[in-house]
Amino acid sequence: MTVRRLLVLGQSGQLATALARLADPSIWDVARINRTIADFSDPRQALSALRQQPDFDVAINAVACNDVDGAETDEREAQAVNGETPGLLAEYCAATGRPFLHVSTDFVFPGRAGGGYVETDAPQPPNAYGRSKLAGEHGVLDAGKQHAVFRTAWVYSADHRNFVTAMLGLVGKHERVRVVADQIGNPTFADDLALALLEAARLLDLREAKGGLYHLAGTGQTSRAALAERIFELAAPLLGNCPAVEPITSDAWPAPAARPTDASLRSDRFARTFSHQMPDWETSLPSVVTAWCRNALSARAKP
């Protein structure tokens, strides 16, 4: 089997880290472009950095401006990183015959009762972040037929800042925490997402699958409050008493950017196209919570 060269755009984020760690060396030789090499808020500079890379066969863009509230006051940076740069890089990859895989978000949807968005549902971003990500989707998909966009949601891992680790960080500091209960979504383990994207990259590179728009998130859905309760249930045997969760409405926790209510994604099209089923979020969560807790206990034990 010929080893292919995979270019990952991103370095320290949880998805980029998982992609580099989990890529099978018998299939992929991984190279990365990070923010010290390219300023992704400057589309032309990012394009110049891409052109200077050694030959690669396929690229995965794991770079994003994820400051949802910050985008409300500085939408220009979000539009540059999330909206303009992906399309420009995708055009270069199309011109040189390389698939370009881009990661987007459930925040392109406003949310609705019942959830279960599919790819043919019309997006309607509720905030500036969602608008910037939707612009990036259009740029990538317009650039080449072999390119693909993957909408995901609520990504978490044991060693980065995210909802799961934020909740775990509250253990021992609070007896009770207030968590919104009217935001519904798909918790997605970064490793599960990375493995699925690597398989998609392989098949797209071999021209054995079609590009286009896909939803790619953990199977099953839950609320933020219910997720927090499950996190504490899993952590309690290792860390001891965990906070009680007080469910609240989004109105009781105001933020600059509106959040989707029920923006759950259905990943059926991805499973059919790539023969790869995303694990249920409840299956993936325990190992992440356990890893974080063990790391925390180890750090406490050090003199």
Could you report the per-residue pLDDT of 196-211, keeping only the tens digit for each? 999 999 999 999 999 9
11 occurs within a structural domain: yes
For the segment 265-294, the average pLDDT, to the nearest whole number, is: 97
How far separated are the first and last CA of the chain, in Å rounded?
49
13 occurs within a structural domain: yes
| Domain assignment of residue 47, given as a range | 4-161+186-221+263-281
Whole-number pLDDT of residue 213: 98
Catalytic-residue membership of 92 = no
Whole-angstrom CA distances from 62 to 16, 47, 186, 283, 301 are 6, 15, 19, 24, 35
pLDDT above 90 covers a percentage of the chain that reads 91
Residue 243 DSSP symbol: P
- Six-digit token pair at 215? 């939803």
What is the SS3 assignment for 13?
Answer: coil
What is the SS3 assignment for 195?
Answer: helix
pLDDT over 90 at 37, yes or no: no
Contacts with 287 (C-beta within 8 Å, 6 or more apart), sequence order: none
The tally of domains found in the chain comes to 1
- Residue whose C-alpha is closest to residue 137's, from 127, 152, 126: 152
152 occurs within a structural domain: yes
pLDDT over 80 at 300, yes or no: no
Question: What pTM does this model have?
Answer: 0.96
Whole-number pLDDT of residue 264: 96
242 occurs within a structural domain: no
39 occurs within a structural domain: yes
| Interatomic CA distance for residues 26 and 10, integer angstroms | 22
Whole-number pLDDT of residue 35: 79
Output the domain CATH number for residue 55.
Answer: 3.40.50.720
Catalytic residue among 117, 129, 156, 214: 129
Buried b (16+ CB within 10 A) or exposed e, 272-285: ebbebebbebeebb
Could you report the per-residue pLDDT of 226-263, keeping only the tens digit for each? 999 999 999 999 999 999 999 999 999 889 999 999 99
250 occurs within a structural domain: no
What is the SS3 assignment for 152?
Answer: strand
Whole-angstrom CA distances from 7 to 22, 50, 73, 158, 230 are 14, 9, 32, 24, 36
- Six-digit token pair at 142? 């317009």
Please state, as a whole number, how many other Cβ atoms lie within 10 Å of the Cβ of residue 93: 23
Could you report the per-residue pLDDT of 69-104, keeping only the tens digit for each? 999 998 999 999 999 999 999 999 999 999 999 999
87 occurs within a structural domain: yes
What is the SS3 assignment for 252?
Answer: helix
235 occurs within a structural domain: no
